Amino acid sequence: MLLPVPTYQSKSACSSCNLAEICLPINLSEFETYKLDELSPVKRSFSRSDYLYRSGDKFRSLFAIHSGSFKTQILHEDGREQVTGFQMTGEIIGLDAISTDIHACEAVALEDSVVCELPFNKLEALSREIPTLQRHLHKIMSREIVRDQGIMLLLGSMRAEERLAAFLLNLSQRFAARGLPATQFELRMSRQEIGSYLGMKLETVSRAFSHFQAQGLISVKVRTIEIVNLAGLQACLNSSRQ
């Protein structure tokens, strides 16, 4: 698997943000779960295209996405921008800012979304007391590193259609991990945003979609995607120029 699929376990519907289950899905003792309440996370709602944080903002918290989805992007001086990721329910966002205490990238809601704010000071204090939480936090950060390196592999050594295939397969697995249909889903992002993420122009993204459809691998209707031939799409990835 090229792009790693973060582990995620959905439990019961959680209207009051149950940290131990949703935001930080780990197994803790009753006492530890109690301690975790010290985080006293706040939930915040965002509408489509709202900023969760902007580049240059002071870093205070990590955010666990409770529902909805976001994109993160870096802005380069000369106006270039690069989407560095699309995040969905259960994923943690904001890790890049720990290094400098300033957000290096910005996070924008792709749809109406709710996030759970996790003050980083408290998270660090708690993880000194709860080794399981400490290890979990380290794994989350490491997983982000592995994810980013997977994208480096993708950008550095795959051609356009392979990249798009990898992207669709990754989305498919992440939807499946959330109990959603794996072969039929709505894209929350534009061709332009997909292109930025995958290092290609929006026209190339569109052409690749059309080509996959012509090959009978998928069915595209603007942002509604159905994967018709999963194995075929996976084969796209391996059938590369050496």
Burial class (CB in 10 A: 0-12, 13-18, 19+), 90: buried
Identify which of 110, 54, 51 has the alpha carbon closest to the alpha carbon of residue 86.
Answer: 110
Q: Does 210 bind DNA (CB under 7 A)?
A: yes
Q: Does 77 bind a second copy (CB under 8 A)?
A: yes
d(C-alpha 49, C-alpha 71), whole Å: 10
d(C-alpha 198, C-alpha 166), whole Å: 10
CB of 30 to DNA, least distance (A): 46
Q: Does 98 bind a second copy (CB under 8 A)?
A: yes
CB 22 within 8 A of CB 116: yes
Stretch touching DNA by CB under 7 A, among 16-24, 94-102, 131-139, 184-192 = 184-192
Among all chains, which residue has been given the structure tokens 């708690």?
126
CB 19 within 8 A of CB 43: no
Q: Which of 91, 106, 117, 161 binds DNA (CB under 7 A)?
A: 161
Q: List the single partner that 159 binds among a second copy, DNA, none, CB under 5 to 8 Å by kind.
A: DNA
Q: Which of 95, 134, 201, 237 binds DNA (CB under 7 A)?
A: 201
Stretch touching DNA by CB under 7 A, among 62-70, 97-105, 126-134, 153-161 = 153-161
Residue 58 vs 221, nearer CB to DNA: 221
**Dihedral of CA 17/21/25/28: which sign?**
positive
Q: Does 209 bind DNA (CB under 7 A)?
A: yes
CB of 133 to a second copy, least distance (A): 11
Q: List the single partner that 223 binds among DNA, a second copy, none, CB under 5 to 8 Å by kind.
A: DNA
d(C-alpha 5, C-alpha 39), whole Å: 26
Stretch touching a second copy by CB under 8 A, among 33-41, 173-181, 207-215, 233-241 = 233-241
Burial class (CB in 10 A: 0-12, 13-18, 19+), 63: buried
Stretch touching a second copy by CB under 8 A, among 33-41, 156-164, 173-181, 213-221 = 156-164
Residues that bind DNA (CB under 7 A): 159-161, 190-192, 199-207, 209-210, 220-223, 241-242
